[in-house]
Amino acid sequence: MKKGVAVRTKLQAEVIVALIAILVAELLTMLVMSIIPRSYSPLELASLAAFGLVTAVLFLVWFRADIERAYMYAVEHEYLKFAGQPPRIVAILDSCPRRWMVMLHIRMHPTLVGVE
């Protein structure tokens, strides 16, 4: 494989995770803005920005942990098939719950499929 494929794959996965976290934070901030009365004072705008930032960071941490849990569940319940030495993932069963999260975890850790 070309040099740098693993780095590019990992960065793409990290960007996907970050964009999902930002999207969730934006949606929650919009929800809060629709519920509370607005005065658009600088303090209120700063507090909303802080809320969005903290929400994005907390969701990012939670989401990354959830991706890890989905992968560990797939390994423990044999939804992943391994081959070779050292073992590399060669297949993910279609019946794997949260399959997209498992695939995202694999993209975040490309050495699991042999991409160096």
Can you give the residue ranges of every domain in the chain? 5-113
| Under-70 pLDDT residues of the chain | 1-3
Residue 92: phi, psi to the nearest 5?
A: -125, 125
- Helical spans, DSSP H, in 36-98: 42-76
**92 touches 74 (CB < 8 A):** yes
